[in-house]
Amino acid sequence: MNSMSMDDKDLIYSLRAELDAHNYKYYVLSAPEISDQEFDEKMHQLIELEQKHPELFDANSPTQRVGSDISKAFTQVKHKYPMLSLGNTYSKEEVQDFYNRVSRALEGEKFEIVCELKFDGTSISLTYENGEFVRAVTRGDGEKGDDVTDNVRTIRTIPLKLKGDYPQSLEMRGEILMPWAVFDELNQEREAEGEPLFANPRNAASGTLKQRNSAEVARRKLDAYLYYVLGEDIPTLSHSDNLAHAKKWGFKISDAYKVCNNVDEVFEFINYWDVERKNLPFATDGIVLKVNSIAQQEQLGLTAKSPRWAIAYKFKAERECTRLNDITYQVGRTGIVTPVANLEPVQLAGTVVKRASLHNADIIESLDLHVGDYVYVEKGGEIIPKIVGVNTEMRNPDAAEKVKFITHCPECGAELVRVEGEAAHRCPNENSCFPQIVGRILHFVSRKAMNITIGNESIELLLKRNLIKDAADLYALKVDDLKDLPLWGEKSANNLINSIKDSLSVPYDRVLYAIGIRTVGASMAKKLAAELKSIDALKAATVEQLVQIDEIGEGIAQQIVSFFADEKNVAFVERLRGYGLQLEAVESNTVVSDKFAGMTIVVSGVFEKYSRDEIKALIEANGGKNATSISKKTSFVVAGENMGPSKLAKCESLGVKIITEAEFDALLN
């Protein structure tokens, strides 16, 4: 043990208290008292002292907010109080019905309703003992959830130590969310890296909370609002008074709540926030109504799924009317041409919307669009807004002609084709159309494919300088080719060359995904690689042979055969072979049992303990086969949260067994 002076010990405790106070002022009160630089200097000093004196480790020290890069699996924890979901309504009539039901059940006794914002995030339960944060658990199935304590500890708005006169033991319920600004920044990063974008802040917050790497959670700057106090020794029997106490203890409690004495006041609150929510820095999708008296809550009781004393009123998807300035067309890596509506900027769901996807020619036709029209735009929590209608009353009599889908590629001028049965128009000039070439290379280098660290602008520069013509040319690059390029230098050049060399060890299934056969995604490539162990076996396969593989339909099979029928594609693959890429599967010894031998299993939904890919890997490691669609051949379905209703109906109609994640775990162990 390091020798320690009292000065060091006192300084550690003093710095912890000081940094806790500054965290609270900055993140909860939004009233910082010192600069970021001063804060960082004090944090650095504390880190050094704690490293010097590991015997004084404290899991709730401010230094633990940064998280760890050690991956940890989540353990299941039973909730002391069940985490029930709320009943939802989209109509004010049903709000009135709820109010009347409460009044009847309380036999005319006077009651208050607390109206609160319904935060669009992921539910969390926080446990504190003697004023110290000890555990964070997700909702899970309502009875038990995942212990995500390490991840939640990184969220700056959640106090690690309480202040004032708090109960000895308490549980705080609330919502973890991702602010719009952080969400936009995260999606920009993912887009630059070729990763799929998060659909909305709720999904982003939920996905972040399930990260196995708490350092990554810390980087994503989650926020939290708390809204319910539970415990044996809570201060009062008034929900609103308990919120006021919780605020004094250090919890971030939204000021946007109101104690209402009648239903008219409830509707005033709903109407106000239906407009003002657009100005909030985070997503909210409704209003929660709760009976204020906890004694009356207990009197009203619970149903099997939800409390009788609360309900959630959900806002309708936000809609705004704005002007359609013009339509432009984008060309993707497979040649699909997507029309994009360029709009007069309008505030919608927390962001300024300037563009909306129109998807294809049929959508344009059905909307009867004219440039200059005033259109209705919706963004129901999703990334890409959509045009849902036209305000024909505002149409100028001298409006431009009706919009007609273009006939030629906006990039290379080739005549567009539309395959029978498909909605999309496609540019057939795949070898000379610049955005298609860039798109194919970006796909090739993406993280799920070859994982080569190069971005869109650099690829365009290499193409324009004739240093590459396709993805295979990357393997011929040398440092001297790159170091004198604008904004490059020798270090950047070496980084790229090393990344390209590292990609030579990428396994066959990812190489197969990288070469970009249309309709062959990452999971399909893995299935093909498992059945046909080399690129040569795949190249030689007929449509008839391919459709024998589970989940390969005739359309996908035809795309594969057509790809290898093109001499340019075959030459491309042979060049990759020449550079040493993995074009055949390496036999793996990862099969650990035959528990699922002969079984075909479908994995659907969102899981608590495992990711979907981890469950699929466990199935394969124990002798089973993964499938994406349910059929009579399906042995069982492993179902998480949000399993699609169509899959559920298919299971019921075919009599296919559904098991939970916990039951799957039990089968394994």
Q: How many CA atoms lie within 13 A of 150 on its CB side?
A: 16
DSSP state of 585: P
pLDDT tens digits along 191-227: 665 566 777 788 888 888 888 778 888 888 999 999 9
Q: Which of these, 295, 253, 252, 258, lies nearest to 273 by C-alpha position?
A: 258
CA distances from 522 to 421, 516, 638 (A): 24, 10, 20
Q: Where are the beta strands (DSSP E) in 495-646?
A: 600-604, 625-627, 636-639
Q: Which of these, 313, 388, 383, 377, lies nearest to 347 by C-alpha position?
A: 377
Helix (H) / strand (E) containing 388: strand 386-390
Tokens coding 29: 């009160």
* Percent of the chain residues past pLDDT 70, beyond the cut: 92
| 200 or 532, greater pLDDT | 532
pLDDT tens digits along 9-32: 888 888 888 888 887 776 566 566
- Cα distance between residue 83 and residue 81, in whole Å: 6
Identity of residue 291: V
Q: Supply the Cα-derived Rg of the chain in whole angstroms.
A: 29
Q: Which of these, 541, 531, 519, lies nearest to 625 by C-alpha position?
A: 531
636-639/600-604 β-pairing: parallel
DSSP state of 351: E
* Percent of the chain residues past pLDDT 90, beyond the cut: 49
Mean pLDDT, range 367-395, rounded to an integer? 83
| 422 or 484, greater pLDDT | 484
Whole-number pLDDT of residue 610? 73
The answer to whether the Cα torsion of 224, 226, 231, 234 is positive or negative is positive
- Cα distance between residue 20 and residue 285, in whole Å: 32
Whole-number pLDDT of residue 36? 61
Q: Is 644 exposed, middle or buried (0-12, 13-18, 19+ CB in 10 A)?
A: exposed
- Cα distance between residue 46 and residue 62, in whole Å: 9
| 608 or 378, greater pLDDT | 378
Whole-number pLDDT of residue 1? 41
Is residue 588 scored above 80 in pLDDT? no
CA distances from 124 to 79, 144, 148, 282, 482 (A): 11, 12, 9, 17, 49
Please count the other Cβ atoms lying within 10 Å of the Cβ belonging to residue 78. Answer: 10
Cα-to-chain-centroid distance, residue 18: 35
Helix (H) / strand (E) containing 218: helix 214-219
Helix (H) / strand (E) containing 378: strand 374-378
pLDDT tens digits along 274-328: 889 878 888 888 999 999 999 999 999 987 678 999 999 988 877 889 999 999 9
- Cα distance between residue 277 and residue 337, in whole Å: 35
Tokens coding 501: 């060399």
Contact indicator for 626, 616 with CB cutoff of 8 Å: yes
What domains, with CATH codes, occur in the chain?
6-66 (1.10.287.610), 78-314 (3.30.470.30), 318-429 (2.40.50.140), 434-505 (1.10.150.20), 508-578 (1.10.150.20), 600-668 (3.40.50.10190)
Contacts of 12 (CB under 8 A, 6+ apart): 46, 49, 50, 53, 56
- Cα distance between residue 623 and residue 639, in whole Å: 19
Average pLDDT, the chain: 87
Backbone dihedral angles phi then psi of residue 357, each to the nearest 5 degrees: -75, 140
Backbone dihedral angles phi then psi of residue 91, each to the nearest 5 degrees: -125, 145
Q: Which of these, 563, 522, 531, 533, lies nearest to 550 by C-alpha position?
A: 531
- The residues that are catalytic are 118
- Cα distance between residue 117 and residue 287, in whole Å: 5
Q: Which of these, 265, 269, 211, lies nearest to 67 by C-alpha position?
A: 211
- Cα distance between residue 515 and residue 498, in whole Å: 20
Q: How many CA atoms lie within 13 A of 371 on its CB side?
A: 11
Q: Which of these, 131, 127, 136, lies nearest to 161 by C-alpha position?
A: 131
Tokens coding 36: 């970021």
Contact indicator for 74, 242 with CB cutoff of 8 Å: no
pTM above 0.75, yes or no: no
What's the per-residue H, E or C state across 384-446?
Answer: CCEEEEECHHHCCCCCCCECCCCCECCCCCCECECCCCCCCEECCCCCCCHHHHHHHHHHHHC
Contact indicator for 360, 425 with CB cutoff of 8 Å: yes
Mean pLDDT, range 216-239, rounded to an integer? 93
Whole-number pLDDT of residue 142? 82
**If you search the block for the tokens 């049929």, which residue do you land on?**
362
Whole-number pLDDT of residue 231? 92
Is residue 189 scored above 80 in pLDDT? no
Backbone dihedral angles phi then psi of residue 666, each to the nearest 5 degrees: -65, -40
Q: Strand, helix or coil at 424?
A: coil
Is residue 641 scored above 80 in pLDDT? no
Whole-number pLDDT of residue 162? 95
- Cα distance between residue 554 and residue 369, in whole Å: 36
Give the total residue count for the chain.
669
pLDDT tens digits along 547-578: 888 778 888 899 999 999 999 999 999 999 99
Is residue 3 scored above 90 in pLDDT? no
- Cα distance between residue 456 and residue 439, in whole Å: 8
Mean pLDDT, range 367-396, rounded to an integer? 83
pLDDT band of 386, cuts 50, 70, 90:
confident
Contact indicator for 242, 96 with CB cutoff of 8 Å: no
Cα-to-chain-centroid distance, residue 212: 15
Q: Which of these, 344, 372, 369, 346, lies nearest to 358 by C-alpha position?
A: 369
| 473 or 594, greater pLDDT | 473
Is residue 2 scored above 50 in pLDDT? no
pLDDT tens digits along 46-72: 888 888 888 888 878 888 765 544 435
Mean pLDDT, range 640-655, rounded to an integer? 79
DSSP state of 548: T
Please count the other Cβ atoms lying within 10 Å of the Cβ belonging to residue 366. Answer: 8
Is residue 433 scored above 60 in pLDDT? yes
Whole-number pLDDT of residue 62? 82
Whole-number pLDDT of residue 465? 95
Write the DSSP assignment of 277-327 as a string of letters. GGGSSS-EEEEEEEESBHHHHHHH-B-SSSBTTEEEEEPPPPEEEEEEEEE
What's the per-residue H, E or C state across 77-124?
Answer: EECCCCCCCCCEECCHHHHHHHHHHHHHHCCCCCCCEEEEEEECCEEE
CA angle, residues 86, 89, 92, in degrees to nearest 5? 135
- Cα distance between residue 497 and residue 479, in whole Å: 7
Cα-to-chain-centroid distance, residue 204: 3
Please count the other Cβ atoms lying within 10 Å of the Cβ belonging to residue 143. Answer: 12
